[in-house]
Structure 1
């Protein structure tokens, strides 16, 4: 007889208070938890929630300085010089859900944090949280631990400090990870955006200053990876500000914001801007350009102010609003009309820029038409090849479907049939596909996009990914380069990365902008085992530790290629916990990043900054161009000597013990 189900009674219904709910379901409030090693991890959302409140004060005209201190022990202190939280409501603002001044549209007309949740989430997820406000020579402070009051000053006391609010907190390791740690480079990048979005505001991180004079124009200058086709066009209308130019690359690159909030997934405002640029170029130049001809190579920043924005989640990464204000002003229509009007005025006043813009659009059109004939032939060849081509072993679920597992869709790009054989036998046929290369692909550096269609292997891959016409049609959420850990494997990996960075750069991760889709599969280099335990080691340091655990009689196997790993073992390396390293778009030197001039963002460069190269073309030219002697000299100059490696191995042993 079947075991009866648990009784479903009134006692089964539970009501959680705000603190319990946030701690039980933190992902609803701050997204991904993580240990701080990725810019999207929740500890940065905690910091951002506090800074957003300071920014809102600045936008309302109160306070031009925000000071941020982050200690080695993860203690974060943020001080603004705005009006300060009303002292009598300090407890409610820090520990009563859905409480705040931002419901009053007359007090905060263009605010991001409308849900009354942000500070409370920081409070509940911190092992230490203190809020202190100063108003009109009086101050009050309250201290919490995981959302519970530990100390309340009660009555306000006299103070000579300047008005404003100070919040200190330390993320709770039990909610995140015992190894949770702030990466200051990620915070620096966050503060750069705040500076670009708020010209005149000064932000300080541990004494390091961030400020901007020209706002979005500075942002575009900093993000350009090559010389622009024409000077940055800057347009400023009612509640809408945009800046854009064109580069020589492919694809479209957008940085979008709502009330200073970086909406990394775009939304209504981005779609409206894309439509407006095409509409105005058609009208101004009196020609029905294809939308792709107008937008290919564009890099743009779009900032809008919305009275009551609607986001798709508490983390506010995508705007879903259709109206700008409660009175019903249509957001999309307003953005299109504003951008079209301001761009029309700009182009009439700046004939040289208008000419350069037209030349870029015509160049895009010419290349598209040249490619169209090749595309037709390539499609025909691909159609014929589908019957015979066994290089693609497809899966059943793809990113462009509505299946609940669509985010799991992955394609492994392997070098040859040997490696693809192990993956094919080990994969999840529902969500994992395999594409097998024929040895080393073509080095496409310096070639035009025609190579995507003229080279059969590249076209078949682009066709499998469904990006041959539009990257937005991508069929897989993750594109994984799975090559051997030897010289040939590394070379193939570089050749494929060159292809992606040159023709489909938006597929690579851009920290703070998108998470990307392109990854490198990390597979073990060694297997160390005895009769009781087996360890798979991804580095020589891990191998040393495993040998120390297994003893001197341990069996050590070196995996020279993916084909040497049995399918039974391989399934562990491409399962839910597979190790993937994202391919990150390099950022380069820019006038904004390195000058002390007034109005430009100061401070150290982001963590993936490549200081010796000026742009993507320069970067790829050095590593993939015909300058072998120069690269050889550089490699010799940076070789690791054998004693260094031996010292590293020895240093690892005591830690393993």
Structure 2
């Protein structure tokens, strides 16, 4: 019988504030990550500091925020009131200390300044804060939450406000790198929600004059069917339009805070929109038809918002204020009145909305028969589906590992075999393609049900009715880095953009980076993802190391593959640029060959360098 583990006073340990944050960072900033995903920890650190500057702006203090990010060093300077000088150190190093517990100073702020700044301090290898008020400055510096410099309060000619400089801790955020696309998207969200605010980022000016209307114009990846409907009142703002794209696209905010996972306000908006449309046209349209192709943004301001996590990605509270209306009744009243009035005035927009609903209704009825057959086929195939090697945990559950869930889409038996043997069975699944998938550009959704491979992939992901019940957080295209592999990758991206653009827009689609070379001697092995990394490895190993060029994923043994798909996995996110509509992008790359595309291919051809003689 096993010896009982003793449990005495000696087992009780109290952690100080920074130890607790560093031991359990996920409680404070969600997942860690390396910066590839927009919700990785380094962006949450950035957001926590900017939130404080935004709250100053909202309270009428300072109209400009200066931000620079270079070589991992982040600097954020606002021109608000500045933290009271004698409380600067407490505000960044004592949990439950902050100005936002006093509702007289801050109303409808993003969140309580009790944890955010402290988390940034504890998780930074360097953290400096400077507060300027009433002609005086207070400066303090920390390393991983430990106070290193406590400067005396001095006279200063600088403008009032707060400046924070920090460098995320490489011990916590392994191989981190800020992706400027993610940072710019975050900053634009702040600008859209705070008209009149100017953000100077790395020399570029970010400012919005038209709020959520500007946001939708930037986000639209297809042509709108009618001019954007833009409605607002004191504590609510909405923008709505429709496109011919499949799916639904929402951007929701609470007190200027982007909530990518939605919440009670987004659900209330969707419900209120459907009810208003039915009442306006006096017809009981199906919900799916009313919202097909919708692109909408909703922003609400509430007192004492309750979020489902410290990272504030999903609103949990149902009330607009402690004694105010529910979110549901608040948005029902606003949309029911304002949108109905708008549609009565703007009859061209009214007819465009009706036409889009009727089109969706026709398409749904056309698909009804074939969907039934396809579902039966998928159900039968799932009983002995050789294409999918599933994992145990899924994204549409409340499991603590759900964010790690990954589906690798591979081609060829050898590649899928290696990944299947090397994967982590709990959180990583594999879907095997047979040859090249169909080019789905220009086809209707009917093909998703008629094509067995597409139908099974749709069923595996559970995205037929939207991404609310998506089964894997990360969908990873794992194809060879040769011409055929690139083509398959492009065909799969086309499939998602054509039929399930929400998967891409919400940051779930990635490309797996695999090493091009293995450089080794008897003591050490390096896996290199570029010629530059290969040359560095050769220099470090000296002499004449053995160099292997991997031509395909099937050449990499399962034991080796484990190095590339676990802790050290390198993923490149598929990001849609804001300047080119998806329809135009797909037309260029996947439509019929055109002189323009031929010229593009010729201009961008790269001839691979001849491998050195000592490569095996």
Distance (whole Å) between structure 2 residues aligned to residue 90 and residue 431 of structure 1: 43
Is the Cα–Cα contact under 8 Å of residues 412 and 479 in structure 1 kept in the other structure?
Answer: yes
Are residue 563 (structure 1) and residue 554 (structure 2) matched?
Answer: yes
Aligned to 1:326: 322
SS in 1 for 2:132: strand
For residues 492-530 of structure 1, the C-alpha deviation after alignment (integer angstroms, 9 at most, x for no partner) is: 12111110111111112x4xxx431x2223333344444
Deviation at 1:531? Answer: 4.4
Is the Cα–Cα contact under 8 Å of residues 415 and 483 in structure 1 kept in the other structure?
Answer: yes
Are residue 634 (structure 1) and residue 609 (structure 2) matched?
Answer: no
Are residue 295 (structure 1) and residue 311 (structure 2) matched?
Answer: no
- Choose from 81, 95, 98 the match for 1:97: 95
Deviation at 1:293? Answer: 1.0
Is the Cα–Cα contact under 8 Å of residues 459 and 468 in structure 1 kept in the other structure?
Answer: no
Deviation at 1:152? Answer: 5.2
Is the Cα–Cα contact under 8 Å of residues 74 and 181 in structure 1 kept in the other structure?
Answer: no
Are residue 400 (structure 1) and residue 400 (structure 2) matched?
Answer: no
For residues 222-266 of structure 1, the C-alpha deviation after alignment (integer angstroms, 9 at most, x for no partner) is: 111121011111111341111111111111111111111111211
Once superposed, what is the RMSD of the aligned Cα atoms? Answer: 3.1
Aligned to 2:278: 282
Aligned to 1:31: 30
- Choose from 240, 247, 254 the match for 1:244: 240
Deviation at 1:559? Answer: 3.5
Aligned to 2:43: 44
Cα pair distance change 1:587/1:309, threshold 3 Å: same
Are residue 446 (structure 1) and residue 442 (structure 2) matched?
Answer: yes
Are residue 205 (structure 1) and residue 201 (structure 2) matched?
Answer: yes
Choose 88-97 or 265-274, whichever is displaced more: 88-97
Aligned to 2:582: 616
Is the Cα–Cα contact under 8 Å of residues 248 and 466 in structure 2 kept in the other structure?
Answer: no
Is the Cα–Cα contact under 8 Å of residues 237 and 342 in structure 1 kept in the other structure?
Answer: no
Choose 289-298 or 482-491, whichever is displaced more: 482-491
Is the Cα–Cα contact under 8 Å of residues 36 and 180 in structure 1 kept in the other structure?
Answer: yes
For residues 59-98 of structure 1, the C-alpha deviation after alignment (integer angstroms, 9 at most, x for no partner) is: 2223322233445572514121x33434454444344321
- Choose from 256, 265, 271 the match for 2:267: 271
Number of aligned residue pairs: give it. Answer: 612
Are residue 587 (structure 1) and residue 577 (structure 2) matched?
Answer: yes
Are residue 109 (structure 1) and residue 107 (structure 2) matched?
Answer: yes
Structure with bigger RCO (C-alpha 8 Å, 6+ apart):
1
Aligned to 2:256: 260
Choose 347-356 or 124-133, whichever is displaced more: 124-133
Aligned to 1:436: 432
Aligned to 2:515: 524
Are residue 129 (structure 1) and residue 128 (structure 2) matched?
Answer: yes
SS in 1 for 2:200: strand
Deviation at 1:463? Answer: 2.1
Is the Cα–Cα contact under 8 Å of residues 390 and 430 in structure 2 kept in the other structure?
Answer: yes
Aligned to 1:655: none
For residues 108-153 of structure 1, the C-alpha deviation after alignment (integer angstroms, 9 at most, x for no partner) is: 2211122422233334444241231323xx4241323234555556
Aligned to 2:355: 359
- Choose from 458, 478, 493 the match for 2:474: 478
For residues 567-598 of structure 1, the C-alpha deviation after alignment (integer angstroms, 9 at most, x for no partner) is: 444444444543333322x1232xxxxxxxxx
Cα pair distance change 1:566/1:114, threshold 3 Å: closer
Distance (whole Å) between structure 2 residues aligned to residue 461 and residue 152 of structure 1: 58
Is the Cα–Cα contact under 8 Å of residues 216 and 242 in structure 1 kept in the other structure?
Answer: yes
Deviation at 1:298? Answer: 1.3
Deviation at 1:470? Answer: 3.4
Are residue 219 (structure 1) and residue 215 (structure 2) matched?
Answer: yes
Long gaps (5+) in structure 1: 590-613, 651-657
Cα pair distance change 1:57/1:345, threshold 3 Å: same
Distance (whole Å) between structure 1 residues aligned to residue 87 and residue 524 of structure 2: 59
SS in 2 for 1:473: coil
Cα pair distance change 1:45/1:78, threshold 3 Å: farther
Cα pair distance change 1:128/1:440, threshold 3 Å: closer
Cα pair distance change 1:328/1:527, threshold 3 Å: same
Is the Cα–Cα contact under 8 Å of residues 38 and 507 in structure 2 kept in the other structure?
Answer: no
Is the Cα–Cα contact under 8 Å of residues 223 and 587 in structure 1 kept in the other structure?
Answer: no
Aligned to 1:143: 140
Aligned to 2:165: 169
Are residue 83 (structure 1) and residue 76 (structure 2) matched?
Answer: no
Is the Cα–Cα contact under 8 Å of residues 544 and 649 in structure 1 kept in the other structure?
Answer: no
Cα pair distance change 1:376/1:134, threshold 3 Å: same
SS in 1 for 2:407: strand
Is the Cα–Cα contact under 8 Å of residues 69 and 78 in structure 1 kept in the other structure?
Answer: no
For residues 176-215 of structure 1, the C-alpha deviation after alignment (integer angstroms, 9 at most, x for no partner) is: 4586565555433322111111111222234432221111
Distance (whole Å) between structure 1 residues aligned to residue 421 and residue 232 of structure 2: 57
Deviation at 1:634? Answer: 1.6
Distance (whole Å) between structure 2 residues aligned to residue 335 and residue 649 of structure 1: 66
Is the Cα–Cα contact under 8 Å of residues 36 and 572 in structure 2 kept in the other structure?
Answer: no
Deviation at 1:637? Answer: 1.7
Cα pair distance change 1:410/1:366, threshold 3 Å: same
Is the Cα–Cα contact under 8 Å of residues 413 and 435 in structure 1 kept in the other structure?
Answer: yes
Are residue 119 (structure 1) and residue 94 (structure 2) matched?
Answer: no
Cα pair distance change 1:199/1:551, threshold 3 Å: closer
Aligned to 2:370: 374
Cα pair distance change 1:217/1:104, threshold 3 Å: same
- Choose from 345, 349, 355 the match for 1:349: 345
Cα pair distance change 1:58/1:621, threshold 3 Å: same
Cα pair distance change 1:172/1:105, threshold 3 Å: same
Distance (whole Å) between structure 1 residues aligned to residue 171 and residue 380 of structure 2: 55
Compute the TM-score of the two structures, normalised by the length of structure 1.
0.84
Cα pair distance change 1:341/1:77, threshold 3 Å: same
Is the Cα–Cα contact under 8 Å of residues 34 and 176 in structure 2 kept in the other structure?
Answer: yes
Choose 271-280 or 336-345, whichever is displaced more: 336-345
Distance (whole Å) between structure 1 residues aligned to residue 118 and residue 392 of structure 2: 43
Cα pair distance change 1:83/1:574, threshold 3 Å: closer
Cα pair distance change 1:559/1:208, threshold 3 Å: closer
Distance (whole Å) between structure 2 residues aligned to residue 180 and residue 553 of structure 1: 32
Compute the TM-score of the two structures, normalised by the length of structure 2.
0.89
